Structure 1
């Protein structure tokens, strides 16, 4: 694992916590609770997780369900990709746990849910300055801020009479899990209190305030006092209380650059033949307003690598420097033969730069210049390879945002590789940034950028599909879809006036379904665009799939034989009618 994590706060999130649980008057405690405060880099990437489960009293195995739900979440959540958002990570883990609990109940207890592996589960993940809350059942989370107590969860309990109710949702109750998810902003000094119904049904908001105030930093004592108070007031259920106080918050947008700007200064421009941190510079591959890229040899191993350093113009721009470091961080986490790989870090770095594998070949731009009118098969084969690389991004909740021919390498054996990750949008990192109400700049290249970027909207996987389709469109037609009009269309109304021009012509053997697939993938409105990469690539090779279903294609394209048979039948009927009516 890297010794740094982009987006990981310079000042770490710090909390104080207290927990207490008792069986109460019952012989078995079916509640289960837990909390995990990892070290860096997981603290910045995944946050602090708190979980509380409450078993149902009718089942003698629900304590196993409670323990399984909490333990599985606290272990498996931190095993999900660091690039995933909290929501996706938590929902994947909870869904898998729910499926296991439900299957155990069906195998051992059939349809009798009241005896199965069923429990409530309430989870809170503190990441950055945000509390992510996932809730199933009737445990509760309260927030105490400036003396005011606010309930943050809604009980999933269905009341059939004033004194009779049942759980509407629970872990293990059904094969599919419906989870309440929402976020809350966090301020320093906030106190979050998680409680099962055995506690909260017998205490008041004032009791919560008094316990937290009376016990100061001893939050274990505060949790114990609230449990004992509920018992004294007649609670006949298991009782669990968790208290978490936020003592320090990371500064918003204080990411890796804030941590390393002092220890990792930007290097000077490099010269051919120069030794640089264990590498020997062989050649300068390219220089731009954003970066300088060099071919180098690792002196220790003799391997050829590519080194990228910040340009002179941008080395004082923290946002750009963070994107540069994020590029290598992501390359270590994306596993695809169609995406450039980061070079292993074998020694401590003294300056800020990235190192990646050297790919011998040419860019897709150069390939297109050498093949101005390529045959359909090699063009689609390249696009399919790039799509497989993009799928590796999308599986990790990463949007590339700058897919263009210059950022795609074609190796000597014909393998396509995405080589630039500097403009990506990563869900897990995005959660750590401060909210930004102003439209951001278009990070990608305008010619291939999806129209929604020019409205200031965030990119999605459909934006990447647009860029991929634009590349294929250019390969087949020699022009860009919509020309320069897409970049000039800065309103939804203007974008809806953009007109798709077919790639079909008399001199090229391009099937109509390929043109239809491009038309849909290049729709100006992302809601009308092809939703999945796999659907786009499938449509390129399968008649009838391009328009989202064969029913949308003309009969001539769907079934030419049936079309001509029908036309002949109509002509026969017309001739027959003319013959009958002829005197």
Structure 2
């Protein structure tokens, strides 16, 4: 393959060349491949290049090399679009490593030892080019070089342990052990960058000048450049298998080059709608709400007769490209989440001429309204709703999506008591962040301050624990009628100030709540995310399973029941002790 330029003019464009040779060996244990998909997969997952090198001590290592490359190039593109490159690649490589290691363990040939270095083992070096970034994952001693400005730079480290000047062994390889340790890092791309992937049969016999000359000699036929490097290494005495892959960056995508960005730039914003108006195959029935961000309407799909919700940009924000892209991202994410506790995007069989989103209509009331109607809910009522919201959140987190704006106004309680997350406008998908530039990644906090986790006020990115904090804050409010820490969270703009925030017990004299619930909430609402409950499942489990002491009827420690009272009492005891000591002396 000499070159490939997929997609539209705004897409990532590359030229590639590859060559492999068994050299002086009877079997070629190297295996290589790449995949350059068309749009929209090119923007969503990028271009994948993979190179594997078998080990000479194993007579099945060539099978491991082929399996490693083929499975990565196939399975990587089957991972969710919302996952980051790092997570997608790690999942695929871990699964491949487990399969190869299991194959080695299952070999029962009496004439062959079951040593690891005689099994299904190989090195694997992967590069994924997505948007303006190269993602590099590496196990073993194949190498990736970058040629930029005439200088050749090695981008990977060799996982080879040297015993002496002429004796060494692989410290890491795919299939070598059940646990896999992968080097991962990223490199910013520039037009004209040339990446060279090579096995040790090549790079031990050619230098930087050789590589630069071979590429310069055949700029429009990089297959010839790859072949020239292999032949040169053979001439200089290489006795190993030889493989070279060359990838040149010819063009980088422009901002908003992905599917969502192109829609947000090319589709005009619709006019304000009114009841009785026919719009894009829908009949507007009523305006549900209006804000400085959007207008939301109840409509009916004329073809099916089903009620739907249409959201259009507000007049204030329809000239803000970032907001318009987030609006379309909301529907893009809704189409990829499958949960009964998350609003679903409406199928669109017709092409749209304006920029708007359509979702299913869910009759009911918001959690804010529900709390106004139930100012003193029982623990069972509150926990039941929180568990449902948590199940919806888990659907986000499985796809590596953070909600970032979980609050009562964004939760709908249906007529039969089901809780549904209805607003996805502030969500953050790791797979979409891979496409963003460094400037885009420093976005301001999108959530509502009252329920936002403290780390957002420090300018940090949200995590699953940030969503957990917001969920626990809603439970705290349902049980106490107030927010944890009040308005102090928004005023605490340093880590030191946040660590001074004091958790106030949710318990009071007028409400029957078990003491142990305080311990569950105080941990989930800890200002430091590292000290917070790590998983949603652990939080919801704790809400249904009190600690052993509580089950035996023992009173929980004061530190768990009322941390403020505990520390005040401790300070008073210390003061009395010091006073007695002074008087005695």
- TM above 0.5: yes
Structure 2 residue aligned with 1:183? 186
Match of 1:450 among 449, 453, 456: 453
Match of 1:230 among 212, 230, 233: 233
| Contact kept in structure 1, 2:104 and 2:116, CA below 8 Å | yes
Q: Which runs of 5+ in 1 are unaligned?
A: 1-7, 559-583
Secondary structure of 1:108 counterpart: coil
Structure 2 residue aligned with 1:194? 197
Deviates more, 1:311-320 or 1:491-500: 491-500
Q: Report the Cα distance in structure 2 between the residues aligned to 1:41 and 1:439, rounded to whole angstroms.
A: 25
Q: Report the Cα distance in structure 1 between the residues aligned to 2:340 and 2:315, rounded to whole angstroms.
A: 32
- Number of matched pairs: 547
Pick closer, same or farther for the CA change 1:94–1:262 going to 2, 3 Å.
Answer: closer
TM-score, scaled to structure 1: 0.91
Structure 2 residue aligned with 1:69? 68
Cα deviation for residue 441 of structure 1 reads 2.4
Structure 2 residue aligned with 1:44? 43
Secondary structure of 2:449 counterpart: coil
Structure 2 residue 444 is the aligned partner of structure 1 residue 441: yes
Cα deviation for residue 114 of structure 1 reads 2.3
| Contact kept in structure 1, 2:404 and 2:467, CA below 8 Å | yes
Structure 2 residue 335 is the aligned partner of structure 1 residue 332: yes
Runs of 4+ in 1 over 3 A off after TM superposition: 252-258, 436-440, 552-558
| Contact kept in structure 2, 1:540 and 1:546, CA below 8 Å | no
Q: Which runs of 5+ in 2 are unaligned?
A: 1-6, 562-585
Pick closer, same or farther for the CA change 1:213–1:545 going to 2, 3 Å.
Answer: farther
Match of 1:484 among 470, 484, 487: 487
Cα deviation for residue 217 of structure 1 reads 1.2
Structure 2 residue 207 is the aligned partner of structure 1 residue 208: no
Cα deviation for residue 253 of structure 1 reads 5.4
Match of 2:385 among 369, 375, 382: 382
Structure 2 residue 408 is the aligned partner of structure 1 residue 405: yes
Structure 2 residue aligned with 1:423? 426
Q: Report the Cα distance in structure 2 between the residues aligned to 1:274 and 1:437, rounded to whole angstroms.
A: 37
Structure 2 residue 475 is the aligned partner of structure 1 residue 472: yes
Secondary structure of 2:484 counterpart: coil
| Contact kept in structure 2, 1:203 and 1:229, CA below 8 Å | yes
Pick closer, same or farther for the CA change 1:527–1:391 going to 2, 3 Å.
Answer: same
Deviates more, 1:89-98 or 1:488-497: 488-497
Secondary structure of 2:106 counterpart: helix
Pick closer, same or farther for the CA change 1:359–1:190 going to 2, 3 Å.
Answer: same
Which structure 2 residues correspond to residues 22-37 of structure 1 after superposition, within 5 A? 22-37=21-36
Cα deviation for residue 439 of structure 1 reads 5.8
Q: What do residues 167-214 of structure 1 show as CA deviations (whole Å, max 9, x unaligned)?
A: 111111001111011111110000000000111111111100110011
Deviates more, 1:366-375 or 1:425-434: 425-434
Q: Report the Cα distance in structure 2 between the residues aligned to 1:17 and 1:518, rounded to whole angstroms.
A: 55
| Contact kept in structure 1, 2:264 and 2:324, CA below 8 Å | no
Pick closer, same or farther for the CA change 1:81–1:438 going to 2, 3 Å.
Answer: closer
| Contact kept in structure 2, 1:55 and 1:120, CA below 8 Å | yes
Structure 1 residue aligned with 2:519? 516
| Contact kept in structure 2, 1:35 and 1:48, CA below 8 Å | yes
Q: Report the Cα distance in structure 2 between the residues aligned to 1:115 and 1:431, rounded to whole angstroms.
A: 38
Structure 1 residue aligned with 2:304? 301
Match of 1:345 among 344, 348, 354: 348
| Contact kept in structure 2, 1:9 and 1:250, CA below 8 Å | no
Structure 1 residue aligned with 2:565? none
Pick closer, same or farther for the CA change 1:321–1:437 going to 2, 3 Å.
Answer: closer
Q: Report the Cα distance in structure 1 between the residues aligned to 2:121 and 2:471, rounded to whole angstroms.
A: 46
Pick closer, same or farther for the CA change 1:95–1:280 going to 2, 3 Å.
Answer: same
Structure 2 residue aligned with 1:270? 273
TM-score, scaled to structure 2: 0.91
| Contact kept in structure 1, 2:11 and 2:257, CA below 8 Å | no
| Contact kept in structure 2, 1:10 and 1:256, CA below 8 Å | no
Structure 2 residue aligned with 1:564? none
Secondary structure of 2:431 counterpart: helix
Pick closer, same or farther for the CA change 1:542–1:493 going to 2, 3 Å.
Answer: same
Structure 1 residue aligned with 2:570? none
